[in-house]
A and B are shown apart, each in its own frame.
Chain A
Amino acid sequence: MVLEEEVQLPLDRQTVFQALNDPEILKQSIPGCEELNQLNDNEMEATVVVKFGPVKASFNSNVEIDPSQGPALFKLTGKGDAGVAGFANGGADVHLDENADGTLLKYTVNIDISGKLAQVGGRLIEGTTKRLARKFFENFESALLAKHT
């Protein structure tokens, strides 16, 4: 499944880009994030609880970030294991464009879900993923604004 959306943030590009690399901000922003530990500069592990319709899944996730093309592009790939509930594989490309109002983030999320989650929640995955992505940027914005204002 591929998801493409954009969000406008009233902050400059460098600030936004740094925040995307900041485990503290990420932890506050990821919906259902219970734990997030930085393993090294580019790797993190996280525990994220997500509800897809009737199935509540706790993902043990490994996330790798690629800031090498920053601040114009932030890349992320990840793998989540929710045991008997299923698995998720995916990634996101976030393009950061500076404009008069701050920064426009255009993101493309690519995600494959397998297992019981896909079976039971198949028809809910797209909606849930969209909702989670929006929620992420809402949280991200408030975390950033709290920090920078």
Chain B
Amino acid sequence: MSATAESVQERRAALKGLGTSRKRVEDARFTQGKGNYVDDIKLPDMLFGDFVRSQHAHARVKSIDTSAAIELPGVIAVLTAKDLEPLSLHWMPTLAGDKQMVLADGKVLFQGQEVAFVVAEDRYIAADAVDLVKVEYEELPVLVDPFKAELPDAPILREDIADEKEGAHGARRHPNHIFTWEQGDKAGTEAVIGEADVVAEEMVYYHRTHPCPMETCGSVASMDKVNGKLTLWGTFQAPHVVRTVASLLSGIAEHNIRVVSPDIGGGFGNKVGVYPGYVCSIVASIVTGQPVKWVEDRMENLSATAFARDYWMQGKIAATKEGKILGLWCHTTADHGAFDACADPTKYPAGFMSICTGSYDIPTAYLAVDGIYTNKAPGGVAYRCSFRVTEAAYFIERMIEVLAIKLNMDAAELRAKNFIRKDQFPYQSALGWEYDSGDYHTAWDKALDAVGYKQLRAEQAQQVEDFKAGKTRKLMGVGLCHFTEIVGAGPVKNCDILGMGMFDSCEIRIHPTGSALARLGTISQGQGHATTFAQILASEIGISADDITIEEGDTDTAPYGLGTYGSRSTPVAGAATAMAGRKIRAKAQMIAAYLLEVHDNDLEWEVDRFVVKGAPERFKTMKEIAYASYNQAIPGVEPGLEAVSYYDPPNMTYPFGAYICVMDIDVDTGEAGVRQFYALDDCGTRINPMIIEGQVHGGLTEALAIAMGQEIAYDELGNVKTGTLMDFFIPTSWETPNYQTDYTETPSPHHPIGAKGVGESPNVGGVPAFSNAVNDAFRAFGLTHTHMPHDHWRIWQTANKLGLHN
């Protein structure tokens, strides 16, 4: 019998299903430069669009003179708000229920705002014509500090809605105020804080940054006036949503619009929103009858398309003297820029910030978020995280450290003392979430053992002594982080975007020869969907992953789905894939029963075939069943082998992890070097360990960037000071440390294959780990908290303020 057992194993291995480190099938074309990105699309008679953008952060537009630009040979048209107004397209709705100017309508509200759209025969002529458009501005006072938005002398930014007392998310108390969002028990939390033995307070700022994908945003619109069909290629993380929005905005029937997301060179949230460039390329194509391409440059990407973060989080955390946490209070001032264009589920204007109780059993909590308009670019997208989850994780992981200082307690011990215990799951959090599963203590102990935590602390204490004795000028920081994410949005009952429920989908066709095509409502931006979704399916239907083609991104062929962001692809579309696979298997079982002349119930599934129970020599492989399904008349069974599943998840998934960063800091130069980084992730069932590791490496590197230098900084005039890659930090291999990855595996109880999603965990957990390491290095010298990003200059300043340069 051992021969049979071996062959089962061999057959399982041949499927390259769940748990296989299968090489990425996408990489053959990417590594050879054969990808097909938006800018690779070249159509006959294609025109190019380019924007005239505002140089001012706040100004009235007194006049726009396009005459010199129009006269330039090769220029076809110059669009302004006046041209879009008859079509009601000079403004567009945002994903957050606000509206945004497509082209400046009377005033500009941030530097880089779109003022006019030049259409020309090539992009160089378009760029030259942009220089010839004369815009006369009257400068207005600029508001860059959200804490000054409601002062008596604050300029009113949004005159269009200045008098509206109700916004998309409830009451507005000032023209520059967008919403107040409250969760939890305010009175109860304040009472607990008032009576507790120990209360730690801190203002935790998660600075404004930007996803900065390697490929910037762009689109190609082609209106075929003969058949009335609009085709729109673009860098869309949610192509189906774009089709619906485009139909609602333009009045073109949805079946006459085809949206295609080709290969996408990184998204990280930047490509979720709808941008004026998309609208203008569509209008220009409709007007000219020719295809129109718009692709932004790097400066436009950094200064005008969606930013991330910019949350000022005022926190109070209450505990007993022994370190048992009793309550958490948080008030966040959220700087949303000039238009509220956050990409959050409609009912969550601050995303899932209410996951800010983290991995801890906190009995009472309260969260309030105030959204504020400023003269900055709109956005507020989830940059490699589920909606505002990285802000929440950073907040709680800093508050835990601040509390540990106040208690004079080891921060690892304080965490372990307050973790939600394994036996408490499913766990109901004070801010309303039901955590599906977790085993935090096991992961934590494994992480502490792996790095030799006690020895690290001993070494650190010795180094502090040596520093004080003048024997060294270096300090060492140990950055701890235990994060819990909330991903996989989400249940349609509470998650929608512009009314569209956040389900996802998969459609499978099995071909007669036993290979397959599966199409999903998501779209890969580098995550490796073509590799991993084939693996899920391989394990479900017994067809090798190598024989399954995955297609996404073309709304004419793929089933409707809400797209890829917020680590939702595996939790939602991955579940749909498994469920569709199970439908295939159910039909295959009926066919196999007919072919083997047994009852359905007499068969059992074994890797890639149905076997008659008790008679292992009698079986039909999926390949044989597929052929029969098309070519054999089976009574009561329709020909063919196809299935569709639309999956509405019953709950979110809650991946978690334990990260530890050891950092060496040069007190005199402010340089910080990562000596060791240990990352343990628990993402439930692991589909492809190699891809998980790649995701963790990439996410940690983006976390390093954010924590250690990357920011979108404005000066007091509203100029973007970090609008190029000279000033905006992107780590290269030189700055990137070595990472040590590890895992535990706690499957999600409600997901068909137990998977939870992982692409964003390392960013969510990485940022607090790096930041905690910097803060921890100075703990012995009296530092409680210092803001990110921790670039050399700021670290040097921290050391200087603590008197370490004397």
Are A83 and B131 closer than 8 Å at their CB atoms? yes
Are B717 and A119 closer than 8 Å at their CB atoms? no
Kindly report which residue of chain A lies nearest to residue B136, judged by CB atoms: A81
Q: Tell me whether A122 and B299 are in contact in the complex, defined as CB-CB below 8 angstroms, given that A84-B52, A87-B56 are known contacts.
A: no
Q: Say whether B797 faces chain A, with CB atoms less than 8 Å apart.
A: no
Find chain B residues with CB under 8 A from A85 CB: 55
Contact of B56 among A83, A115, A119, A120 (CB under 8 A): A115
Q: Which residues between 302 and 361 of chain B lie within 8 Å of chain A, taking CB atoms?
A: 303
Are A120 and B719 closer than 8 Å at their CB atoms? no
Bound-state CA distance A31–B299 (Å) is 29
Are A114 and B724 closer than 8 Å at their CB atoms? no
Bound-state CA distance A61–B778 (Å) is 51
Bound-state CA distance A114–B303 (Å) is 13
Are A114 and B717 closer than 8 Å at their CB atoms? yes
Bound-state CA distance A112–B715 (Å) is 10
Are B299 and A115 closer than 8 Å at their CB atoms? no
Q: Say whether A123 faces chain B, with CB atoms less than 8 Å apart.
A: yes
Q: Say whether A11 faces chain B, with CB atoms less than 8 Å apart.
A: no
A-B contact count (CB 8 A): 48
Q: Say whether B130 faces chain A, with CB atoms less than 8 Å apart.
A: yes
Contact of A119 among B130, B133, B134, B303 (CB under 8 A): B303
Q: Which residues between 56 and 110 of chain A lie within 8 Å of chain B, taking CB atoms?
A: 83-87
Find chain B residues with CB under 8 A from A114 CB: 55-57, 111, 717-719
Contact of A84 among B57, B131, B718, B726 (CB under 8 A): B131
Are A118 and B715 closer than 8 Å at their CB atoms? yes
Which size class do B's interface residues fall under?
A: 20 to 34
Bound-state CA distance A114–B56 (Å) is 7
Bound-state CA distance A123–B722 (Å) is 10
Find chain B residues with CB under 8 A from A87 CB: 55-56
Q: Say whether B723 faces chain A, with CB atoms less than 8 Å apart.
A: yes
Q: Which residues between 263 and 309 of chain B lie within 8 Å of chain A, taking CB atoms?
A: 299, 303
Find chain B residues with CB under 8 A from A123 CB: 726-727
Return A119 CB to nearest CB of chain B, in Å. 4
Q: Say whether A116 faces chain B, with CB atoms less than 8 Å apart.
A: yes
Kindly report which residue of chain B lies nearest to residue A83, judged by CB atoms: B131
Return A78 CB to nearest CB of chain B, in Å. 15
Contact of A116 among B55, B715, B717, B718 (CB under 8 A): B55
Are A112 and B720 closer than 8 Å at their CB atoms? no
Bound-state CA distance A128–B116 (Å) is 31
Are A119 and B131 closer than 8 Å at their CB atoms? no
Chain A interface mostly: helix
Find chain A residues with CB under 8 A from B726 CB: 123
Q: Say whether B675 faces chain A, with CB atoms less than 8 Å apart.
A: no
Are A119 and B724 closer than 8 Å at their CB atoms? yes
Kindly report which residue of chain B lies nearest to residue A82, judged by CB atoms: B55
Return A42 CB to nearest CB of chain B, in Å. 22
A interface size (C-beta, 8 A): 15
Find chain A residues with CB under 8 A from B111 CB: 114-115, 119
Q: Tell me whether A119 and B52 are in contact in the complex, defined as CB-CB below 8 angstroms, given that A83-B131, A84-B130, A114-B717 are known contacts.
A: no
Q: Which residues between 107 and 145 of chain A lie within 8 Å of chain B, taking CB atoms?
A: 112-116, 118-120, 122-123
Find chain A residues with CB under 8 A from B53 CB: 84
Return A54 CB to nearest CB of chain B, in Å. 9
Return B305 CB to nearest CB of chain A, in Å. 15
Q: Which residues between 118 and 173 of chain B lie within 8 Å of chain A, taking CB atoms?
A: 130-131, 133-134
Are A122 and B55 closer than 8 Å at their CB atoms? no
Are A120 and B130 closer than 8 Å at their CB atoms? no
Find chain A residues with CB under 8 A from B724 CB: 119-120
Return B111 CB to nearest CB of chain A, in Å. 7
Bound-state CA distance A120–B723 (Å) is 7
Find chain A residues with CB under 8 A from B130 CB: 84
Are A115 and B131 closer than 8 Å at their CB atoms? no
Bound-state CA distance A119–B727 (Å) is 9
Q: Say whether B721 faces chain A, with CB atoms less than 8 Å apart.
A: yes
Contact of A115 among B133, B719, B721, B727 (CB under 8 A): B719
Bound-state CA distance A112–B299 (Å) is 21
Please indicate which of the listed interface residues A85, A87, A122 has the most CB atoms of chain B within 10 Å of its own CB. Answer: A122
Bound-state CA distance A96–B356 (Å) is 62
Return B92 CB to nearest CB of chain A, in Å. 24
Q: Tell me whether A122 and B56 are in contact in the complex, defined as CB-CB below 8 angstroms, given that A83-B134, A116-B299 are known contacts.
A: no
Find chain A residues with CB under 8 A from B715 CB: 118, 122
Bound-state CA distance A122–B722 (Å) is 9
Bound-state CA distance A70–B299 (Å) is 45
Bound-state CA distance A16–B721 (Å) is 38
Contact of B719 among A83, A84, A119 (CB under 8 A): A119
Are A122 and B131 closer than 8 Å at their CB atoms? no
Return B60 CB to nearest CB of chain A, in Å. 14
Bound-state CA distance A120–B55 (Å) is 12
Find chain A residues with CB under 8 A from B57 CB: 114
Find chain A residues with CB under 8 A from B721 CB: 118-119, 122
Q: Tell me whether A122 and B719 are in contact in the complex, defined as CB-CB below 8 angstroms, given that A86-B55, A115-B111 are known contacts.
A: yes
Bound-state CA distance A55–B724 (Å) is 13
Are B55 and A115 closer than 8 Å at their CB atoms? yes
Return B600 CB to nearest CB of chain A, in Å. 68
Return B137 CB to nearest CB of chain A, in Å. 8
Find chain B residues with CB under 8 A from A116 CB: 55, 299
Find chain B residues with CB under 8 A from A122 CB: 715, 719, 721, 727
Are A118 and B299 closer than 8 Å at their CB atoms? no
Are A84 and B55 closer than 8 Å at their CB atoms? yes
Find chain A residues with CB under 8 A from B133 CB: 84
Are A118 and B719 closer than 8 Å at their CB atoms? yes
Kindly report which residue of chain A lies nearest to residue B57, judged by CB atoms: A114
Bound-state CA distance A85–B133 (Å) is 12
Find chain B residues with CB under 8 A from A86 CB: 55
Given A85-B55, A114-B57, A119-B724, 8 extra CB contacts under 8 A: A83-B131, A114-B718, A118-B721, A119-B720, A119-B721, A120-B299, A122-B721, A123-B727
24 A-B contact pairs sorted by A residue (CB < 8 Å): A84-B55, A84-B131, A84-B133, A85-B55, A86-B55, A87-B55, A87-B56, A112-B717, A114-B56, A114-B57, A115-B55, A115-B111, A118-B715, A118-B717, A119-B111, A119-B719, A119-B724, A120-B723, A120-B724, A122-B715, A122-B721, A122-B727, A123-B726, A123-B727
Binding site for A on B (CB under 8 A): 52-53, 55-57, 111, 130-131, 133-134, 299, 303, 715, 717-721, 723-724, 726-727
Binding site for B on A (CB under 8 A): 83-87, 112-116, 118-120, 122-123
Q: Lowest 10 A-B CB distances belong to which pairs?
A: A115-B55, A119-B723, A118-B719, A86-B55, A122-B721, A114-B717, A119-B720, A84-B131, A114-B719, A114-B55
